Amino acid sequence: MPLRKILNFRDVGQTINDHTHSNQLQTGKFFRSARLDEANHDDRLRLVENFGIRTIIDLRTKTEHIQKEQKNNAGGSSSDVVPQTRDEVARPLKLDGIEHYQINFNGWAFSRSLISELSWWNTFQLIGLMAMGYRVEAISVLGSNVMRQEGLVGLAIRSVDTCTQEVYEVFKILSDTESYPVLVHCTQGKDRTGLVVQLVLMLLEVAIEAINYDYVLSQEELHSEREERLKEICSIGLTEEFADCDPRLVEEVARHINQKYGSIEKYLEVCGVTEGMQGAIKEVLVA
């Protein structure tokens, strides 16, 4: 654990190079982690001084930010703690020299696709709960009726197909050479972050086995907060498996992309990531 209060933190390029005993990727450019909310003063300084982070991409939902603020404020009401602006969301990590982007990776298109799977009764139930401000309870309707049945692999594939706008937003940042070094994170740094990292590594022609190695590292890295995460996961209607890494996920996602879109390059083009943007990312990250 290079950072005391930031779990699942690692240099993706270094991880791949060490595992493959090669010099395939640039190091010190592309980092991943779990949420940064508990980072202490030393960790925050190290992000800037030791790792040189210039850009943070936060993939979490508004509901996750609300939960974080409620926890920090000892259970204050939702209306008192909802982050309203990007500056408010970034407040815990407002450090000189770091640009903070909030991209709700599982945004409206993803949510709409899940809602379409609900029965009419469940849909009305979800809408009513959201209208009354019970966001977690509303999400649990989706969790127990749709997400649980799809599992980690199914949700990852659904994200590939529906989160094309969000993929574009992330890759637009990554295609800007001034953004680096970049740190990408969500709550666990496992699922949404793992998918973004997989898409990048596939573009860089990293072997699927090596991508999977980086992905499953999260299982051990997150062990210390597993019990806490299980409570959060169960609160939205999901089961214990959602706290783990599915060893089939990386291969199944890669197979889906290649079968449906033809290649990672063609998939990214569908998302709006041009050949020039893809080339700029390779220029920065390939050794």
Identify residue 29 by its one-letter amino acid code: K
Structural tokens at position 85:
């602006």
Structural tokens at position 125:
């139930």
Structural tokens at position 162:
């529906």
- Distance, in Å, from the CA atom of 141 to the CA atom of 130, rounded to the nearest integer, reads 11
Burial 247-261 (b: 16+ CB within 10 A, else e): eebbeebbebbeeeb
Show Cβ contacts of residue 105 under 8 Å, excluding neighbours closer than 6 positions: 59, 60, 159, 163, 166, 170, 186, 192, 195, 196
Q: Which residues of the chain have pLDDT under 50?
A: 75-84, 86, 89-90
Nearest to 6 by CA among 92, 66, 84, 79: 92
Q: Residue 1 domain-assigned?
A: no
Q: Residue 188 domain-assigned?
A: yes
Q: Residue 96 domain-assigned?
A: yes
pLDDT one-digit tens code per residue, 147-169: 999 999 999 999 999 999 999 99
Q: Residue 3 domain-assigned?
A: no
- Distance, in Å, from the CA atom of 80 to the CA atom of 42, rounded to the nearest integer, reads 29
Nearest to 160 by CA among 204, 194, 206, 205: 194
| Phi-psi domain of 133 (left: phi exceeds 0; alpha: psi -120 through 50; beta: other) | left
Q: Residue 281 domain-assigned?
A: yes
CATH number at residue 222: 3.90.190.10
| Phi-psi domain of 205 (left: phi exceeds 0; alpha: psi -120 through 50; beta: other) | left
DSSP assigned state of 276: H
Q: Residue 169 domain-assigned?
A: yes
Ranges of H-type helices in 8-61:
12-20, 41-49
Nearest to 69 by CA among 45, 90, 54: 90
Asked whether 185 and 90 are in contact (CB, 8 A), the reply is no
**Phi, psi dihedrals of residue 242, rounded to the nearest 5°:** -75, -10
- Distance, in Å, from the CA atom of 50 to the CA atom of 207, rounded to the nearest integer, reads 29
How many domains does the chain divide into? 1
DSSP H or E run through 100 = strand 99-102
Q: Residue 152 domain-assigned?
A: yes
Domain region containing 259: 10-285
Angle at the Cα of 234 from the Cα atoms of 136 and 155, rounded to 5 degrees: 80
What pTM did the predictor assign?
0.89
What's residue 229's pLDDT?
A: 85
What's residue 39's pLDDT?
A: 87
Q: Residue 5 domain-assigned?
A: no
Show Cβ contacts of residue 19 under 8 Å, excluding neighbours closer than 6 positions: 210, 213, 214
